[in-house]
Every structure is written in structure tokens, then in C-alpha cells.
Amino acid sequence: MHDEERPRDQTRLDAFGTSRRPIVRRPPMERPPRPAPDTSPSAGEALPRPTRERRLRRLLVEGLEAVGFDRPSLDLRIHDYAGLRASLERRETGVLRTGEPLVLDLSDGFFDAPDQAVKGLAASLGTRVVPRRHKVPELARLLSDYYAVWQRSNAAKELHSRLRRARARKQGKGPRGDVYDLGELTDRIVDRYLGGHIKPVTVTWSSRAGYRTLGHHDGDLDTIVVSKALDHDSVPESVVAYVLYHELLHHVMGIMEGPADSRRVHPPAFRRRERRFPHWELCDAYLTEMCDRRRPIPYARAKVEWRVLWDDEWD
């Protein structure tokens, strides 16, 4: 076909009169649909609070409906808890009914949780308040499982820790007790057993003399609380130091992650270091007996083999 025989609208000529690619006539393009709003946590941080609350409400209702609630009337209460906490109250009993009122209290930390985790939270809470004869749908079980996995994720743990560091109240009565000074004992333990230096930690006596938990390490707040029950002149100093040493090891070593996201609080490496403390077996035995009796055991009433806890130097 000669150039002069081509239809004019099929060939475009450039400035030099040479032929370029044919013009292809296309139907007018339709405007692309507007993208759905991004409700991910990173996007939610920039949104105003009412918008974020609407997102939470929508996701929570979807999770509850997956359990079997039909358009529940949700009274959503958002709190500045020191951590990721949530609870659901169902004021009625019996079969589920349309528009049933529910009260859900939860931490504002869930603003930053992914969509499926929020739905899973609602499904998990919802399955706990339905009647036993109610058959929980498979979708609700899947959502609950997703939430359980997310709870163990590093992102959820960091979010929970961030809230606790920012909002948790200070614990205890300080390091100086009626008999023992935990600050002084900490310095001696660190020098003798922990290489002379550890990251900063707050040590304090508890407000009450409890026997169920004699020591506790809070990794989020870098705080060790020792039961006031040990601040007694009948308790040998070595026993107090042993409890404090145990908690300081938690502070230094942290918590190891085991298989399937399990937590290993006392792995073999921890036990090996713990057993470097003099007479650790006798300290354990003394503490067990003390907790059973719910009172300190003085030297005069102690078993003969325990008296070394008073007589020998531990540091």
C-alpha cells in the first residue's frame, strides 16, 4: 500500500516527514476507583481520634458477628491502660438476640493493632460469654487463633511494653527496709557475681509482706520487687541476697524464646549461674519452709543444717 493511499488518521508524521508508529484509537479511559482508606496502624496514627475509634468499633463488631452476635449494640469504652488489656461484659443470658447490648472495655493501645488482630480480639472475647450450647463458627475460631499468634509477636510485646513504661505506677516502698538495704545488697551481689556492672535497675521492697511471690523482676520497667516478708531480723542475710540474686539474673539474662514462641524463664544457663550462689540448696529449702509456715524462721528454730546460712559469709 502506498503512503498516499493510507487513511490520514492512521499515520503520524514527525517534523521531518517520516512515518512514526500508527495511531491506535482507544475508547476513553474510565476514572480509576478511589482507593479504600488505609486502616493499618501506621496510617491510623495520623488520623484523628474519632476516626480511629470508628475503625476500632467497626472491626470489633465484625469480630463479634463472626461469633454469632447479630448487629450487637456495642458500648465501647477506651481507656489509657498501662498495657494491652480488654474485657467484654454480656449483661444477658440465654440465646443471642439481635441488637443485644454488650460492654467492651479495652486499651487505647489497640488503635495500633492490625485489623485482623482487633477482629480476633473481639472473637476471642465473644466466645467466652456466649452460652455453652452455642456453636462457635469456624471463622470465629480462626480469628481467635490469629489474635493468639499476634499476642505472642514481637510487635505486640513491644506495644505492651511501651504502654507499661509510659503509664505504669511506681512499685514498692524503696530499697531501704527495716532490717536490710536492697541497694547495698545489690552492689555487693553485682561486684561478687555479676562482673561488677549491669544495666540500671531499680530495687525496692514490696508494699506488703506476701509469701506467694518473694521476688519479681519487671523487664518493662527495669524494676525488681522483693517481698517485705524477707525484711525481718529472723531471715538470714544470705537468703535475702539469694532471692535478690535470682531476680538480678533475670534482669541480666532476660527471657529466652523457646520453640513455638514459648517463653523459657529458667533455661539451663540460668540455673547454672544461679547455683554459683553459696548454699543455694539450703536457701531454697529455707524459703519453701518459710512460705509453708507463712512466717520467718529464726536461727533458734532452724534446722541444724540451715544454720550455716547465718554463720557463713555469702560474699
CA distance 125 to 69: 12
Q: Which residues, in sequence order, are CB contacts of 258 under 8 Å at separation 6+?
A: 264
In the chain, the N- to C-terminal Cα span, in Å, equals 105
Is the pLDDT higher at 19 or at 46? 46
The helix/strand/coil state of 50 is helix
**pLDDT of 129 strictly over 90:** yes
The pTM assigned to this predicted structure is 0.64
pLDDT computed for residue 312 by the predictor: 92
Taken in order of first residue, the domains within the chain and their CATH numbers are 46-166 (no CATH), 182-311 (3.30.2010.10)
CA distance 236 to 120: 50
Contact in structure between 114 and 41 (CB atoms under 8 Å): yes
pLDDT computed for residue 258 by the predictor: 55
Residue 62, judged by CB atoms within 10 A of its CB (0-12, 13-18, 19+), counts as: middle
In tens, the pLDDT along 261-283 reads 556 778 999 999 999 999 999 99
In tens, the pLDDT along 134-183 reads 999 999 999 999 999 999 999 999 999 899 888 887 778 899 999 999 99
pLDDT computed for residue 257 by the predictor: 60
**pLDDT, mean of residues 32-53:** 61
Residue 155 C-alpha cell reads as 510487635
